[in-house]
Structure formats: C-alpha cells, structure tokens
Amino acid sequence: MKIYFYLMFFIFGTCLGSFYNVLGMRLPNGESIIKPKSHCPKCNHKLKWFELIPILSFIIQKGKCNSCKTKLSLFYPLIEFSTGLLFLISYHSFGFSFDLIIALTLVSLFMIVIVSDLSYLIIPDSFIIVPSIIIFVIKIIQLGFVNSIIQVLFGILSFVLMYLIMLLGNKLFKKESLGGADIKLMFLIGLTLDPMLAILVIFLASIIALPVSIFLLIKNKEHVIPFGPFLVLGLLIVYFAKLDMKTIFNFMLNIL
C-alpha cells in the first residue's frame, strides 16, 4: 500500500513542479500565470495537453518543440523531477503529519526560489509571504498561539541578525553583499526552526555556496551568485535532519 503513497507524492510533486516553473518564470516579471497559455518561446506554438505532462512530454518529444524542433531547456523537467523526488522524500521522512505540510511548503519554496533567483536574481515578496503564513498556521496548531508568537519573534530576530550581517558585508566589500530577499528569507527560517538554528542555516548555506561561487567566478567573471537558493537549501537540510537545540547541545557536550 505504501508504494502507492510514494508514487502519489512523486506524481503530485512533478505536477506542482511544473506549476512552480510557471510561477518562478512569470511572477517576477509581473506576468499573469494564467494567460498566455504555455507556449514555445521560439515559435509561439501553443502547447496541447499531451505536451504539458511533467517529465514525460520532454522525453517523448526528445527534448524538442513539436512544431519548430527547437531544443527545449533541460532545466524545466529537472525542476519537475526534483520537486517530485523531494515530495517523495518528505512523505518518507515525516509520514502524514503537520510536519509533512511544513516540509512540502519548504520544498516548494526551494524550487520556486531556484527558478526565480537563477532566472532573474529576484525573489518576489509573495514567494516568502505565502509560505510564512502556511508555516505560522501550522505552528499555531502544533505549539499553541503564545508559543507560535514566540516563533515569530525568533523570525524577527533572525531577520535583524541577517540585516546586521548585510551591513557588515557592505562595509567590508564596499558593494551590496546580500539581497533584500535573503534578509526576508531569514524571517521565514527563524519562524520555522528552533531558536538559534537560524545561525546554523546561515553557516551551512555559506559552506555550500562557497565552492559553487568559486566555480562560477572562474567560469564567468561577471557572474552574480544568488544566495537565496543556498539559504533555503540550508533550511531544508536542518529541517529534514530533524535537528533541534537539544540534539545540538548534546553533540557539543560530546565533542568537548
């Protein structure tokens, strides 16, 4: 029976992944997500239903537009597949629970931020506000109203911390070091995790971003590297590892 749920979450994820491609590509541009219908960017050929099946359409069409035979970007089916896979992993890690809703929300945020930040170096506010509201509601159900307000305070504290890091960075590098969206993302991170773990997320994000940045800088000297996707990746790792302050405290005691 369980295999059906795995399959269901994977397929559900690929369909949403396809939608996140549209969201991430259109919303930062101020375009509508309903009109115009999905089309080939080259020849404007309107995609029919069988050309819109996540992953499968790409494979059947051998990665080319049905009409003009232009090569389609592998980026879109990759986003669909990754969303499906991460939805499956979310179900595997959390089962049917409120934590699963938070996990799926974070995975969705990750995918949309990747599409939007890589394409435009922008993360629109709505991409941060909507998941924050979902997570806040789940926190109220899980922790009660007073404790979830405390979580909001931790969110604000994380926001302020990142703001100070940005001021320091601006002074050190004499240019804009972090985007406004990166600071706003910190609110969501503080809201989601145990207090203090937001610092661990910044640390993880920096460690993962460093080699990637060096690689991109060598390859393309003028490249601006978005930090948003790394922050959300750090958040995902800490959330899926089910880390809390107690675990970290015990770990610290063990190595000291």
- Note whether 147 and 104 are within 8 A (CB): no
Please tell me whether residue 68 binds Zn ion under the rule CB under 5 A: yes
Residue 97 has a CB neighbour count (10 Å cut-off) of 13
* Residue 48 makes contact with Zn ion by CB under 5 A: no
- Between residues 61 and 213, which has the closer beta carbon with respect to Zn ion? 61
CB 61 to Zn ion: min, Å: 10
Residue 241, CB-side half-sphere exposure with 13 Å CA sphere: 17
* Minimum distance, C-beta of residue 20 to Zn ion, in the bound complex (Å): 22
d(CA 47, CA 49) in angstroms, rounded, equals 7
Is 65 an interacting residue with respect to Zn ion (CB under 5 A)? yes
Report the distance separating Cα 223 and Cα 56, nearest Å.
33
Stretch that binds Zn ion, among 45-53, 76-84, 116-124, 145-153 (CB under 5 A): 45-53
Give whichever of 68 and 241 is closer to Zn ion, judged by the CB atom: 68
Tell me which amino acid residue 176 is: E
State the Rg of the chain over Cα.
20
Query: Should residue 43 be labelled a site residue for Zn ion when binding is judged by CB under 5 A?
Result: yes
Please say whether the dihedral angle defined by the alpha carbons of residues 43, 54, 118 and 151, taken in this order, is positive or negative: positive
Structure tokens at 102: 């938070």
Size of the site for Zn ion (CB under 5 A): 8
Identify which of residues 44 and 147 has a Cβ nearer to Zn ion in the complex: 44
Kindly state the smallest distance separating residue 62's Cβ from Zn ion, in Å.
14
How far apart CA 105 and CA 83 sit, in angstroms, is 11
Name 118's Cβ contacts closer than 8 Å, sequence gap at least 6: 226, 229
* Minimum CB distance to Zn ion smaller for 70 or for 97: 70
Interface stretch with Zn ion, choices 14-22, 39-47, 73-81, 198-206 (CB under 5 A): 39-47
In the complex with Zn ion, the residue whose CB is nearer, 43 or 207, is 43
Does 45 bind Zn ion (CB under 5 A)? Our answer is yes
Considering only 16, 40, 88, 183, the residue that binds Zn ion (CB under 5 A) is 40
Q: Which two tokens stand for residue 66?
A: 């049905």
Shortest CB 28 distance to Zn ion, Å: 23
Residues within the interface to Zn ion (CB under 5 A): 40, 42-43, 45, 65, 67-68, 70
